Amino acid sequence: MADVHDLIVLGSGPGGYVAAIRAAQLGLKTAIVERENLGGICLNWGCIPTKALLRSAEVFHNMKHAASFGLKAEKIEADLEAVVKRSRGVAKQLNQGVTHLMKKNKITVYMGTGVLTAPGKMTVTDKDGKKSEVAAKHIIVATGARARDLPFAPADGKRVWTYRHAMVPTELPTDLLVIGSGAIGIEFASFYNDMGAKVIVVEMLDRIVPVEDADVSTFLEKSLTKQGMTILTGAGVEGMKADAKGVTATIKTKDGKKADHKFSHVIVAIGIVPNTEEIGLEQLGVKMDRGIIQVDGMLRTNVPGIWAIGDVTPGPWLAHKASHEGVIAAEAIAQALGNKDVHPHAMDKNNIPGCTYCHPQVASVGLTEAKAKEAGYTVKVGNFPFIGNGKAIALGEAEGFIKTVFDAKTGELLGAHMIGAEVTELIQGYTVGKQAELVEQDFIQTVFPHPTLSEMMHESVLGSQGRALHI
């Protein structure tokens, strides 16, 4: 006999485990199925452990520049094994935290690979091959995604790495090629550059971090180049050969010229592939587009009782987007099961912030200046530099700026774009403003504390009105 639940969540990443917790809070008998580690890729192999690595690199960077703070530090060295060990320890601690949350919320955990066998039914096969039959009126697919390989040079974990290999290196690259300049590529490029590797970044498009505002891309490229990186935009890797000693890559630059370059290691960061194969979706007739599950605003698929969240659904592919979708889906399911006290709302993807934890950090929400103009808006733009902020100067972090884009007619905040120290923390202020539909006067009339980096947010808005006080 199958174990029967109100809801089964397939996958325990930041979307899956949050959906399970919210469903349990709403009184649903909930189960979660996970084939590897509770917390999924983000917690175990993505968002969290990479930030631990980047924190180590940041401290190392500051130690090397101790003299600029009036301090002396000699014979500074990085212990790669210890850096990786710390990162894995952080991931382990949080994995144990998710395990505790499952117990606290009385969520049944099935460790194994889940396959949908019929509407409302699933078979879970554990690592020993033992099968369990589980059933529920509703199932959320939250199986996440994996790194996309180069067709001519699949990652081997030795010389050619994905993000997962790059998080647990046994040796420090000497000459590193990073293919792709999205968040993952740039974060690892920044980490290994700070750790002492010679880094080249190859980006097919005409600028790095291409989803960001063009001004941010330009500023970041200059900053990374100043730090010693080589950035090749409008370029591509047309072939690679790896052996025990390293990798030879054929790079075609924007002028059409091709040349072979030698590297100790290569990181491939060219996107992700949704994990939607071999879990029974095709047999049930779930609609997909190139492996991406199609859903409505409440995360329903076209098959009644089957829902999907996170990286298996259309982007942006971000952990916080997955978590929020998990809450929406759980509440919509509770509502479908008769709970009249929940009122889920579809998410406005334009209000989802994005963060890149390189040095300097990048963060944004909403439309870029170019996208706003393409959409037909007449815009007012404010731009305030870090060099005009007392706290930034005191921190020794006077590199960066905050840019705001407003609708000139209504005063609506259309977008905000930042580069500099701790902007991944600051961006939430503008995200709340967008969600609350605040206008420029709301920000102008808000009192920002002094001395803080957040004052630059105020100054940027003032700047959009020609009223900036400190430049």
Q: Is 293 helix (H, G, I), strand (E, B) or coil?
A: strand
Q: How far is CA 245 from the centre of its chain?
A: 32
Number of Cα atoms under 13 Å in the Cβ half of residue 423: 31
- Name the nearest CA neighbour of 415 among 361, 354, 469: 354
Structure tokens at 215: 């001004």
Task: Tell me how far apart the alpha carbons of residues 262 and 246 are, in angstroms, rounded to a whole number.
Answer: 7
Task: Tell me how far apart the alpha carbons of residues 193 and 199 are, in angstroms, rounded to a whole number.
Answer: 6
Other CB atoms within a 10 A radius of the CB of residue 210 amount to 14
Is residue 360 reached through a cis peptide bond, with omega within 30 degrees of 0 on the bond before it?
yes
Task: Tell me how far apart the alpha carbons of residues 346 and 4 are, in angstroms, rounded to a whole number.
Answer: 29
Structure tokens at 241: 């050969």
- Give the burial string for 258-284 (b: 16+ CB within 10 Å, else e): eeeeebbbbbbbbebebbbeebbbeeb
- Provide the annotated active-site residues: 450
For residue 113, give the H/E element and its range: strand 113-118
Other CB atoms within a 10 A radius of the CB of residue 196 amount to 17
Q: Is 344 helix (H, G, I), strand (E, B) or coil?
A: coil
Q: Are 274 and 291 contacting, i.e. CB atoms less than 8 angstroms apart?
A: yes
Give, in order, the Cα–Cα distances in Å from 117 to each of 20, 129, 180, 285. Answer: 21, 17, 38, 12
Q: How far is CA 187 from the centre of its chain?
A: 10
Other CB atoms within a 10 A radius of the CB of residue 152 amount to 11
Task: Tell me how far apart the alpha carbons of residues 55 and 49 are, in angstroms, rounded to a whole number.
Answer: 10
Task: Tell me how far apart the alpha carbons of residues 450 and 457 are, in angstroms, rounded to a whole number.
Answer: 12
Beta pairing partners, 342? none
If phi over 0 gives left and psi between -120 and 50 gives alpha, with beta otherwise, what is residue 440? alpha
